[in-house]
Amino acid sequence: MSHPAPNPSSVSRRQFLREGMRLAAMTGAGAFVGLSSGRTGAREHYVWQIDPTKCVYCGNCATACVLKPSAVKCVQAYEICGYCDLCTGYFVPEPNALNTGAENQVCPTAAIERKFIEDPYYEYNIIESRCIGCAKCVEGCTRFGNGSFYLQVRHDRCVNCNECSIARVCAGDAFRRVPASNPYFLKTSAH
């Protein structure tokens, strides 16, 4: 600065204050890192997931997600599926006929594929691009069947919000942060 300050002593005082505060801030930051180093997860980060044992299939997953359509989808645990002809996750109560007619399906978006395997077994697959995570099939399967349909946050879609907006309104309090290395609940037993 080529202009001499009119009051050099006051400039140096402010300079001193500024430097002191910067030093204090740096010390604070260092202390903070030291304090929180025990608390941080260096080797792990966390993602949101639904605990299927707590899910009450309320339908909020379809509406509350910041993504439209939701990042929550139904998944099928084939190992515990009964491959029933009358699938209570696929068919509405008292269906007219056990066929793929839209009026018989519980899924509002026809996201479940019903495939004949052998008499009397049918395979049910979720077409994820159609699924909106409304949990209507989950309710049918869990209440009357084996519970092989269940909701999961799909991590190819989930943007991992800092605060999951579905978790905030989840009726079953089923959302939790899980380690990203093990990001799914794999259902191996009924209910």
For the segment 24-63, give every residue that binds another protein (CB under 8 A). Answer: 25-26, 29, 32-33, 36, 39-47, 56, 58-60
Q: Which of residues 76-105 bind another protein (CB under 8 A)?
A: 76-86, 88, 98
Site for another protein contains 183 (CB under 8 A): yes
Q: Which of residues 115-144 bind another protein (CB under 8 A)?
A: 117-118, 120-121, 123, 125, 144
CB of 106 to another protein, least distance (A): 14
Closest by CA to 125, choosing from 153, 83, 68, is 83
Three-state SS at 175: strand
Site for another protein contains 1 (CB under 8 A): yes
Rg (CA), the chain: 27
**Residue whose CB is less far from another protein, 110 or 169:** 169
Site for another protein contains 155 (CB under 8 A): yes
CB of 190 to another protein, least distance (A): 5
145 to each of 10, 58, 175, how far by Cα in Å?
Answer: 80, 18, 23
Binding residue count for another protein, defined by CB under 8 A: 83
Handedness of CA 158, 162, 164, 167 (dihedral sign): positive
Site for another protein contains 8 (CB under 8 A): no
Run of H or E residues at 125: strand 121-126
Phi, psi of 126 (to 5 degrees): -90, 125
